[in-house]
A and B are shown apart, each in its own frame.
Chain A
């Protein structure tokens, strides 16, 4: 690990002012940053500990919105009664992630910004070639062991999966990120994450020196009747092989789909919203055949890289099963 200065910020203004200097990283839960610093992937020269900033760890469920401060711990949000009641998929996406210890440390803002688990990205000693770490150096995963790599949203420069769960739920339900720098701005979660393209080092629209201060999600019937299904190599404490955040609202007849939201995780370079599949289901009956038929479109344009072909077969089944669960027919 390289040497760094450590400062504990006591106010947002101080933290933002300090962050203007190059080589600075905000430290919250540290579950990604400290890990990657030990691996020499992250090499900040200044660390601003923001865990003591006041007022950023609130969880508020109003009649219309859920608002979560960026420093709220994953465990607190997952166990929050209002969140569980209004947004089951948000709660599930959190408690099915990581471990109890990590969820007690990791914050909502940091969770959104967690970096890929690509084994080549995480091992600069053995694999100097990584376009995400060192732009232009190549991608070791393309011809490497890529069973856990993306089949959607990839480019010739990077096939690393976005590893998070919570952001998948956020994208499915049109969540928004509140970001503060020189001014405060609001960014739709779905447009926050960038596809790798030719610049995989740019992962999102956060500008240098900006800080996520919170997330907000509008309440809806689909969110109330939502589900997060996570399929993985072991039953707990593992990243998704494929996951789906879904929500369904039915007409008064109890079977016609009035609203549906779907996003996938574990298969793409960013949280992957399925607007075409959603559109195909609007006004249709909520039955197994219809859901499975529509879910087949989830992997349109998917491409395998040798070892991850199974994700193309798995993802539609995960989407279909999640929809059946949310629709009450599983």
Chain B
């Protein structure tokens, strides 16, 4: 029936038992129902990449994913990237060191996308980084520093840093 239904989401390893409207997107479920507001709502139409999260290890857009579709799958958000002791992920460190943001609104999406981009093996050159990061828009125009951060993080991953 239309309306409210029970759903279990596993986000960053924690199970959340929720009651949601069938229309609720994964993005709204994360932000409004699990209090994980690190994932950002930009365009809400799959055009900006701000809502990028990982589902079963692949980067996807949470604004075009129904929460129902993510039930029982492994969802990872920006909040789940750093180690439990607070040590930043190598991509987060690279973004800080390269000053790869200005206002920061697109940053969680950029970082989740970059982690996957490196893991997929699509960060081999600046051109390849630009192509495979093109789904993440930055209206401040921090692209040169974003490319530098992804390039540097990819180099560190290659020399043994955990992805």
Contact = CB atoms under 8 A, between A and B. Distances in A.
A293 interface: no
B46 A100 contact: no
A49 B69 contact: yes
Contacts of A27: 66, 69
Contact of A6 (B5, B59, B132): B5
Interface in B64-86: 64-66, 68-69
A325 to B, nearest CB: 18
A51 B72 CA distance: 13
Interface residues of A, number: 28
Given A104-B60, A105-B60, A4 B22 contact: yes
A4 B44 CA distance: 19
A258 interface: no
Interface centre among B2, B68, B69 (most CB of A within 10 A): B69
Contacts of B44: 38
Contacts of B2: 3-5, 45
B133 to A, nearest CB: 8
B134 A236 contact: yes
A237 B3 contact: no
Interface string B21-58: 11101000000000000000000111001001000001
A217 B52 CA distance: 33
A76 to B, nearest CB: 10
A121 to B, nearest CB: 14
Interface stretch (A28-36, A156-164, A172-180): A28-36
Interface residues of B, number: 34
B76 to A, nearest CB: 13
Nearest to B1: A5
A188 interface: no
A6 B135 contact: no
A104 B59 contact: yes
Interface centre among A31, A35, A51, A99 (most CB of B within 10 A): A99
Contacts of B22: 3-6, 47
Contacts of B132: 100
B146 interface: no
20 contacts: A1-B23, A3-B2, A3-B3, A3-B23, A4-B23, A5-B1, A8-B68, A27-B66, A30-B64, A31-B46, A31-B61, A45-B2, A47-B22, A49-B69, A100-B59, A101-B49, A102-B46, A104-B59, A236-B130, A237-B135
Interface of A: 1, 3-6, 8, 27, 30-31, 34-35, 38-39, 45, 47, 49, 51, 75, 98-102, 104-105, 235-237
Given A101-B60, A101-B61, 4 more contacts: A6-B68, A31-B61, A100-B113, A101-B59
